């Protein structure tokens, strides 16, 4: 029986290495989507090589925990929040920010796409 059918899914960060690298905007990324119960909710592991991107409107609600590397999020008022290994972050859909990472980042993520987008 698969983990999803039992109701418990192991979110193994090593699973992301088996995924192909793809280009997402300015970033070279890998994503292992490990849990998709429906209703716009998805959880998994994401990693990306160094990049910087201005995001005028974050596309979903996201909660993440950084496993490796550091993420710097600069807001329009100039303030910057930084998140390193073991630290959690949450970004609301529609948030404007500039995402910067000087080295590879790997994180657990849980995203929720709002019903009006599904």
Q: How many Cα atoms sit within 13 Å of 18 on the Cβ side?
A: 7
Domains, the chain, in order of start with CATH, read 3-117 (2.60.120.10)
DSSP 6-42: HT-----GGGGGGSPPEEETTEEEEEEEEEEEETTEE
What's the pTM value of the predicted model, to 2 decimals?
Answer: 0.89
77-105 pLDDT per residue, tens: 999 999 999 999 999 999 999 999 999 99
What pLDDT is recorded for position 1? 42
Per-residue confidence at 3, pLDDT binned at 50, 70, 90?
A: low
By the 8 A CB rule, do 89 and 71 touch? Answer: yes
How high is the pLDDT of residue 7?
81
């Amino acid at each position: 029986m698969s983990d999803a059918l039992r109701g418990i899914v192991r979110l193994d960060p090593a699973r992301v290495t088996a995924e192909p690298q793809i280009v997402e905007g300015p970033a070279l990324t890998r994503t292992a989507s490990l849990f998709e119960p429906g209703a716009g909710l998805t959880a998994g592991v994401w990693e990306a090589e160094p990049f910087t991107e201005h995001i005028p409107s974050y596309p979903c609600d996201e909660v993440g925990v950084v496993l490796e590397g550091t993420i710097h999020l600069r807001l329009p008022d100039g303030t910057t929040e930084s998140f390193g290994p073991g630290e959690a972050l949450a970004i609301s859909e529609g948030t404007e920010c500039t995402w910067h990472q000087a080295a590879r980042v790997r994180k657990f993520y849980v995203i929720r796409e709002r019903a009006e987008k599904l």
